[in-house]
Amino acid sequence: MSFFSNNNNRVEVRFTTALLILAASLFALSLSSCKSHKNLTVNSRYDSEASIVKPPKAHGKLIEEAYTWIGTPYKYAAAEKGIGTDCSGFVMKVFYDALDYSIPRNTTKQAEFCSPVTDDTVQAGDLVFFATGKAAGKVSHVGIMVDSHQFIHASSSKGVVVSDLYKPYYRRTFVKFGRVPLN
């Protein structure tokens, strides 16, 4: 006698299968929400990709300087506060103006210059790199982390803004974090 020969057995199997799927889904949801809940909460201090003029307190000269660039329009191959900048020029000038420290001008070179940082040790002032161009995985955009999930960068469409790292676009194009070797 086949297990599926009786209609009552079919109903039991379907009901049991549905319960198992529901339980597995709830379990997976609970696991994924543990780590990501904090990260996906938008900090009320920021209106993502809006013009913010006050940096978070206690992040030092680097972040304070970066915030003075908010609203600077995007301009390829430029690095002038209030006039125009691209992403790597913005990062290079912020490090120089705030810390009197020179880093490479090119995004790819900046990524090579940095020490790797894991997502659980990333801090304000670390760099975040993205592959936004046509070549998959090739670093083509950079920003400066201002906390564990917000970064400031020169967006090609909006100029210098603060953005949320956990927005789908940035999650999809994220390559790595890097720490500028200041010592």
pLDDT at residue 172, as a whole number: 96
Q: Which one of 37, 59, 87, 149 is the catalytic residue?
A: 87
CA 15 from centre of chain: 42
Give pTM, 2 decimals: 0.71
Q: What is the pLDDT of residues 64-112, one digit of tens each?
A: 999 999 999 999 999 999 999 999 999 999 999 999 999 999 999 999 9
Measured CA to CA, the distance from residue 118 to residue 71 in angstroms comes to: 30
pLDDT at residue 57, as a whole number: 52
Q: Which one of 37, 59, 114, 141 is the catalytic residue?
A: 141
pLDDT at residue 49, as a whole number: 47
- End-to-end alpha-carbon separation of the chain, Å? 76
Place of tokens 């040790």: 121
Measured CA to CA, the distance from residue 160 to residue 111 in angstroms comes to: 20
Q: Which one of 59, 114, 149, 153 is the catalytic residue?
A: 153
Catalytic status, residue 114: no
The pLDDT of residue 170 is above 90:
yes
Give one word for 160, left, alpha or beta, with left for phi > 0 and alpha for psi -120 to 50: beta
Catalytic status, residue 37: no
Q: What is the pLDDT of residues 105-135, one digit of tens each?
A: 999 999 999 999 999 999 999 999 999 999 9
CATH number for the domain whose boundaries are 60-179: 3.90.1720.10
